[in-house]
Each structure stands twice: as structure tokens, then as C-alpha cells.
Amino acid sequence: MFIATLIASQRLTAGDISAAADRLAGAGCAPGEAQWIDEGEAADIPFASDPSAAREALEGAFPATDVVVQPAENREKKLLIADMDSTMITVECIDELADYAGIKAQIAEVTERAMRGELDFAEALDARVALLKGLDEGAIDRCLAERVRLSPGAETLVKTMRARGATAVLVSGGFTRFAGPVGGMLGFNRVVANELLVDGGALTGEVAKPIVDSSTKETTLRETAAQLGLDFAETLAVGDGANDLAMIKLAGLGAAYRAKPIVAAAAGARIDHAQLTALLHAQGIARKDWVSI
């Protein structure tokens, strides 16, 4: 058995749900009776077969509505592996840090290309960090205070999953000086990120090796699941860039959050409209059971 979850960033109507069920029937998926998770916000439609056809029939069919199609078994996840920049927070920290050096446009262009999968991530990171050589270390704390903002729904997602017994790991190709505080604010169990090297109160233009990259993210999911005795079906991974693809493909529910086209096309689920709390609705968790922030 499978479940198609409709999650609206504006309002979901009974008519939308009926139309979705008709689409599933037309695709040969044999839908069952729909149920609200939260009326007007999210609803489930169980169906019997062909999840690929179901996803094709539903995605993009309803304005400002995200669709998650998945097996009914192991729907609520026990491990969350999340990207940070442009996922758990609204910005790319290296781009904002570059603004304090007066070179944001130059670095942001490289970041965008790396996140689209056009450049090798590690090489692109080394090249960008090299351009920050000599920047006063104090810019890091200023950037954290002035620029870094949590993505809507991020804290509720992490803390609700933690409260229900899940483990949460923040794995970032960004920097520990940002990921540590962000992970603490959001309630992650553990943080994995790159270390910016500093000497004499200024950035050296280097990052400690080995670099946290796509393979690190995948390995973190694999190793953490093994440590917890979990099947991959019990895991959730979310990110937006090409360096998140490996973990997204491996996870039981791999979600692309407002992601680059290469990631959105490959992910098992796309969240393009709603907040990150959509990933709670995707697990069948109603708003009444969310941790209040």
C-alpha cells in the first residue's frame, strides 16, 4: 500500500482531494478513501499500486500544493539527515561571508554553479575559501548574527521529530562556525561541517581536510543508520544542492527543498511551496502533535 499526501501552502479543499483521487484512479493506482491530516492544509490518499504513475499524475496538478508519494510502511522516520545552507537556513553562509570581503557576487556565482552540479564541490569550495584569505575572523560572528536566519518550519521539524524519538544530524558543506550554533538552535543531535582555518585573527584562505562533501553526507546517513539499527526505509534526508543528491537518493524519503533542478528531478519528494513542516505532514504527523516553538 502507498500514500499520496497533498500539502498546501495556501489552502487545500475537498474539491482538490476529490480531483486528486480521480487522477489516481485514472492512472490505474486504485485509490482508497482520503483522510485529512490537518483540514485545509494536508490530506492523505491511500492507493494500491504504481507510485511512479501516482506521482506523475499529481505533481504540479494543484496550485501551491506539494505532493509526497511513498510506501505506507515506515512512513514516520527515525533518522533525519539535513543540509544547512538554503535548507535549514535561508542563506548560503559563504556568500554572505564574502559580502564582508566585498566579493559576494564573485563567490555567489561559483556557489550557484556548484549547487547546480556544474562544478566539483570540493574544488569549488577550496577556490572560494581562498578568496577569503585575510578576512578578519570577527566577520564570521557578525555574519552569523546579521545574516543567518532559520528557514520557516525548520525548528518545528527537528524538535518534533526529536520529541518522537528520532535522531537528527546536520551535515553541511558549509562551516562549523555557522553549523554549530545553527544545529544548537534547531535541536540537532550532532553536527558535521567544514572547519575554516584561522591564524592571527584572520582567515588563512584554507579549509581543513578532508572536506565535507556529497560522499560525507551519504556516509553519515549510512553509518548513523547502522549505529541505530535502522533500515534506510526509516530515514529522511533533505537538501537543495547537487552535493545532497547521494543522501537524498539513499534515504527512505529523500526530499528536495526548494531545490536546484538537478536535485528536484532526482529526489523522491519535492517541497517547492510549503514550509519545512511539510515533512511532518509527509510523515502523517498532525499539527496538534508538533512541538510548539
List active site positions.
83, 85
Q: Are 240 and 266 in contact (CB under 8 A)?
A: no
Only one residue has cell 584569505, namely: 133
HEC string of the chain?
CEEEEEEECCCCCHHHHHHHHHHHHHCCCCECCCEEEECCCEEEEEECCCHHHHHHHHCCCCCCEEEEEEECCCCCCCEEEECHHHHHECCCHHHHHHHHCCCHHHHHHHHHHHHCCCCCHHHHHHHHHHCCCCCECHHHHHHHHHCCCECCCHHHHHHHHHHCCCEEEEEEEEEHHHHHHHHHHHCCCEEEEECEEEECCEEEEEECCCCCCHHHHHHHHHHHHHHHCCCHHHEEEEECCHHHHHHHHHCCEEEEECCCHHHHHHCCEEECCCCCCHHHHCCCCCHHHCCCC
Q: Work out the end-to-end distance of the chain between its first and last CA atoms, rounded to an integer number of angstroms.
A: 34
